[in-house]
Structure 1
């Protein structure tokens, strides 16, 4: 059973998320928090597997809560709930090791899938949100990030770069496998190898690196 914490300052949002998640027979909502500080405390107390964190919360926002959970409860996988208007915050969250992000208006199945992916040690990027964030990266001033990213990616084989580019598009292992005619298990092996070579904590950070390096653009 996947143990989930929901952190959002709006009771109706929390109730809606709870209703969606508890419709899945493998997910249990064990705690809810109206602010980031309480979310950190409950994540530790209830030994949750996945924490769903809104960015904008009182007392402590979702980004600070993400960092604190990473320090004090590293086994918890944190997913950021966001809107299109928070691109820079999303980028900061992902670079800090968040397990991914999804939009508040995501379909119920997407929310459930994201929680399952995070609990399995994978990461989830909402395809729509990924494209939106990618646009902001493409038009952002290059402060040397692209040069550094290309230098890191140069250590990969051609096939590894191909898989990395698909991560940059936000594709799952299964979707990436179908795109390049490779089994899901083989893609997973490539992803693990890529993360090790690039010294990325998760596939989300690797996806952002792919965008920085201009792969798939």
Structure 2
């Protein structure tokens, strides 16, 4: 379900990519009033004409049982922050090729959180915080997992069992929560890793926006 002006493109081009267009709605109210289970994923435009807040819209859609992919030009980082903080599973820029947006829609439909390291800068980093006191092995695990590797891939690189990786991630999240810095999503784990100096900060979002969909500078 799209809430923006690209519905025609999705209707015509989405099926070969495994995406079926269900319809559009001008507001979240209109979608929710249409009934339940209208679609699997809402590609939520973060600037709707009714002036509603992206965070409120995201939270309402998730409460109604929908998965949310934020869809935006990317110039308003506060809007991206609101959507991610309220449960959006990823962000797709309107400047991206349609094939990339289709891929993200499929992944979100499957329940996957899309790790947009460049977009993680939209969530504020704490400038003063209580250290989580991670062990060296926990730091190594976090550095791999938070930057995109799956649990099995982390296990292979650390030469440990996948179950041990899972246990480490649980422990890492518990330590951050105890320090008052919750990290309940993979994007938040990445941000905590940046704050701790475990991984370098990402490329600023505005640099990405200055590039064309083909990756050539504009």
| TM-score interval, normalised by the smaller of the two chains | 0.5 to 0.7
Which structure dedicates a bigger proportion of its chain to helix? Answer: 1
CA contact (8 A) 1:100 1:204 kept: no
Q: Which residue of 2 aligns with 1:67?
A: 59
Cα distance in 1, alignment partners of residues 44 and 168 from structure 2: 26
Q: Which residue of 1 aligns with 2:73?
A: 83
Q: Which residue of 2 aligns with 1:131?
A: 118
Cα distance in 2, alignment partners of residues 117 and 83 from structure 1: 20
CA contact (8 A) 1:53 1:80 kept: yes
CA contact (8 A) 1:7 1:52 kept: yes
Q: Does 1:6 align with 2:2?
A: yes
Which structure dedicates a bigger proportion of its chain to strand? Answer: 1
The change in CA–CA distance for 1:133 and 1:123 in structure 2 (over 3 A counts) is: closer
Cα distance in 2, alignment partners of residues 107 and 182 from structure 1: 35
SS in structure 1 at match of 2:166 = helix
Question: Where do 5+ consecutive residues of structure 1 fail to align?
Answer: none
SS in structure 2 at match of 1:99 = coil
Q: Which residue of 1 aligns with 2:194?
A: 211
How many aligned residue pairs are there?
A: 191
Root-mean-square deviation over aligned CA pairs? 3.6
Question: Where do 5+ consecutive residues of structure 2 fail to align?
Answer: 177-181, 201-218
Q: Which has the larger radius of gyration?
A: 2
Deviations 1:52-92 (A, max 9, x none): 10100022343321011233x1x321110122312222122
Q: How does the TM-score come out when normalised to structure 2?
A: 0.67
Which residues of 2 match residues 6-155 of structure 1 at below 5 A? 6-8=2-4, 10=5, 13-25=6-18, 27-42=19-34, 45-59=36-50, 60-71=52-63, 73=64, 75-126=65-116, 130-131=117-118, 133-134=120-121, 142-144=126-128, 147-148=129-130, 150-151=131-132, 154=133
The change in CA–CA distance for 1:98 and 1:132 in structure 2 (over 3 A counts) is: closer
